[in-house]
Amino acid sequence: MNTRTPPHSPAGPAGPANGARAALPLAIDPVPAFQDNYIWLLAAGSRAVVVDPGDAAPVLAALDRRGLALDAILITHHHPDHVGGVEALVAASGASRVRVIGPARENIPCITERVAGGERVTLLGHDFDVIDVPGHTLGHVAYYGAALEAVFCGDTLFCGGCGRLFEGTPQQMFDSLARLAALPGSTRVYCAHEYTLSNLRFAQRVEPDSAALTARLEACVAARGRSEPTVPSTIDAERATNPFLRCREPAVRSAAASRTPGADADAVATFAALRAWKNVA
């Protein structure tokens, strides 16, 4: 499994308008942190952006190793393992120069640009649409780069799973996941944790007869055996194997109802039962 997204530059209708300066090719790499976090490093030329830097030290080491200067920090939500390194990165890079972009509906003091769903930010010459995805936290946002075919979704959608509902309701999280599932199937899913094997093993308990799920789990076990990330996946892969995106499928509804009577009443009830089941699985 490829652990690095190769440099990508928009072309055709998704590219810059005639006469506009073309964006530099952009590479996306994981910076491992803590036990299972991924901080995403986006680099174009000599400039960089990082997503959800919970720890400054590995980011600073990566920037120094590659000779990159930090332009901006993207934040998806307020949890410490996503924001803990922001102040140190800004101090090391120059507070007047580094943009800190994050959710308008969360109290994160270090943010310099507060954004919400429907807005757009431009970083390293590439546009990112902001998507509101409450559920894990109430103000959680994701950043979708259409030309890059990439979404940075923090702790909302995981490879094979989804985040816990610490602040939001099942309806909110269900709707948030639906927004992400509606993205083009080729969109790469850059989540913030290496939870894939646990998630897919739970998914097999929900859909034990899924050949697609069995094949995906085998591939991910092999990748981890080579010390490779299982992230990113794609929206297509999540639609096919992630039970939290499959709450209208008869097999998923039946599995949820076998644990929680009445969970097959509608898709949100199925989702709520699955999430409660995963919490103790």
List 55, 71, 132, 155, catalytic entry: 155
List 8, 78, 82, 140, catalytic entry: 82
List 78, 126, 140, 193, catalytic entry: 193
DSSP 193: B
Catalytic residue flag (residue 140): no
Catalytic residue flag (residue 81): yes
Catalytic residue flag (residue 77): yes
- Nearest CA to 232 out of 186, 271, 177 is that of 186
**What are the strands of the beta sheet with 5-8, ordered from one edge?**
5-8, 26-33, 37-44, 47-51, 69-74, 99-103, 113-115
* Residue whose tokens read 């990439």: 150
Pairing of strands 26-33, 5-8: antiparallel
Catalytic residue flag (residue 126): no
Could you give the CA distance from residue 251 to residue 192 in angstroms, rounded to a whole number?
29
List 8, 79, 126, 140, catalytic entry: 79
List 8, 78, 136, 140, catalytic entry: 136
List 52, 55, 71, 81, catalytic entry: 81
DSSP 174: H
Could you give the CA distance from residue 210 to residue 99 in angstroms, rounded to a whole number?
44
* Residue whose tokens read 């899913």: 189
Catalytic residue flag (residue 8): no
Could you give the CA distance from residue 162 to residue 174 in angstroms, rounded to a whole number?
10
List 8, 77, 78, 126, catalytic entry: 77
3-state SS of the chain: helix, strand, coil percent to 5? 35, 25, 40
Residue 189: strand, helix, or coil: strand
Annotated catalytic residues are 77, 79, 81-82, 136, 155, 193
